């Protein structure tokens, strides 16, 4: 059964999720942090993750061709935008390829990483 691993402070939720996946964590496992000290974005760019945000990574094992894994980013972005609109009544936009924007400000991003055994 998937679980939520909560941290006040962690280097990177993505790195911890990857480690958990390598250890056999079930699909849906979430790693959540109040703050990340070594988060990263596309092209391994540093991602500042101060307290007050929602920082998490999720382990997925999609049954798709790894060459099409990039499509997960877009599916997640569209789903997140729809969820924000439905849940908070706020219309957000998508900036190619992985950013969620409100008015002119980036308010979120989706980083998809793959690993195949």
Quote the pLDDT of residue 33. 95
Quote the pLDDT of residue 117. 61
Quote the pLDDT of residue 4. 96
What's the predicted TM-score (pTM) here? 0.84
b/e burial code for range 51-73 (CB count within 10 A of at least 16 → b): eeeebbbbbeeeeeeeeebeeeb
Domain spans in the chain, listed from the N-terminal domain onward: 1-61, 63-117
pLDDT 10s digit of each residue in the chain, 117 long?
A: 789 999 999 999 999 999 999 999 999 999 999 999 987 776 777 777 888 888 999 999 998 888 888 888 889 999 999 999 999 999 999 998 788 999 999 888 888 888 876
Helices (H) and strands (E) in the chain, counts: 2, 7
């Amino acid at each position: 059964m998937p679980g939520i691993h909560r941290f006040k402070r962690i280097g990177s939720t993505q790195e911890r999720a990857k480690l958990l996946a390598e250890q056999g964590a079930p699909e849906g496992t979430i790693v959540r942090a109040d703050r990340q000290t070594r988060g990263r974005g596309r092209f391994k760019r540093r991602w500042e993750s101060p307290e007050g945000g929602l920082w998490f990574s999720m382990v997925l094992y999609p049954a798709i061709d790894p060459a099409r894994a990039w499509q997960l980013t877009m599916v997640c972005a569209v789903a997140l935008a729809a969820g924000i609109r439905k849940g908070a009544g706020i219309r957000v936009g998508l900036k190619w390829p992985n950013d969620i924007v409100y008015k002119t400000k980036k308010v979120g991003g989706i980083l998809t990483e793959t690993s195949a055994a």
